[in-house]
Amino acid sequence: MTETKYKRVLLKISGESFAGESKFGIDIDTLTRVAKQIKNVVEMGVAVAVVIGGGNIWRGDEAEANGIDRVTADYAGMLATVINALALQDILEREGINTRTQSAIGINQVAEPYIRRRAVRHLEKGRVVIFAGGTGNPYMTTDTAAALRAIEIGAEVLLMTKNKVDGIYSADPLKNPEAKKFDRLTHLEALNLRLEVMDATALSLCLENKLPIIVFDLRAPRGMEKVVKGESIGTLVSSG
């Protein structure tokens, strides 16, 4: 078994990344590449939990801007994450990886309810656990759900993937070619500089619980494998 730096990780995947080159929907080729990376890491002996956004299906902020009630828009976004979770679960199981989906909102026909002790037990048995439904509360992003679940299950690191971005930059590198990439930051620096690593609630949770964050591009060849082996890619956000 390959030596790794981390034995238990939580991977946060943006919903937009599931759309591939399209703006909306699920691109199966992209999903399959993600599943293969997760499979390779599981076979290295790493316990993997996953939180997925729903932006490829539903954008709550855009819906709210168009007049839909914020709470209603947020719950619709939670349902979008369930769709993404089920799609990833199916692809992972085609790859031979045992998987469980747990949802923070009741949807018992397709997912277990979120129960922390059960999730930890699944991880101990080598199953990939996909957390759907965000935190189950409106006004909370899937970034916050990822930070919260990572802390609850005792993950050693939160792996954040951004759509078409390979780390944290001083500005949006897709819009500003002069943006500077950071190799390392502290949680406080990320908060104070307002770098949009994740929302402030999620970042504060990581700061308070000294949970390191690594932001990287999941499209990079063997990117996730390199991260869990401790290779320096993307941007590391830590307590110091």
> What is the mean pLDDT, run by run of 10 residues, along the chain of 240 residues?
89 90 87 94 96 88 83 93 96 96 94 97 97 95 96 97 83 84 92 85 94 91 91 89
Which structural domain range is residue 94 located in? 8-238
Q: Is 29 exposed, middle or buried (0-12, 13-18, 19+ CB in 10 A)?
A: exposed
Tell me whether residue 173 is in a domain: yes
In terms of residues, how long is the chain? 240
Give residue 94's pLDDT: 95
Total tally of structural domains belonging to the chain: 1
Q: Which amino acid, residue 96?
A: G
H helix count then E strand count, the chain:
8, 11
Tell me whether residue 3 is in a domain: no
Read off φ and ψ for residue 39, nearest 5 degrees.
-60, -45
Give residue 1's pLDDT: 59
Q: Are 122 and 100 in contact (CB under 8 A)?
A: yes
- Give Cα 64 to chain centroid, integer Å: 23
Say how far apart CA 118 and CA 90 lie, in whole Å: 20
Residue carrying structure tokens 């006004």: 139
Q: Which amino acid, residue 213?
A: I
Give residue 235's pLDDT: 93
- pTM of the prediction? 0.93
CATH of residue 197: 3.40.1160.10
Q: Which residues of 165-196 are buried (b: 16+ CB within 10 A; e: fewer)?
A: bbbbbeeebeeeeeeeebeebebeebbeeebe
**C-alpha distances out from residue 182 to 11, 78, 166, Å:** 20, 31, 10
Q: Which among 128, 103, 149 is positioned nearest to 47, based on CA atoms?
A: 128
Q: Which amino acid, residue 85?
A: A
Tell me whether residue 2 is in a domain: no
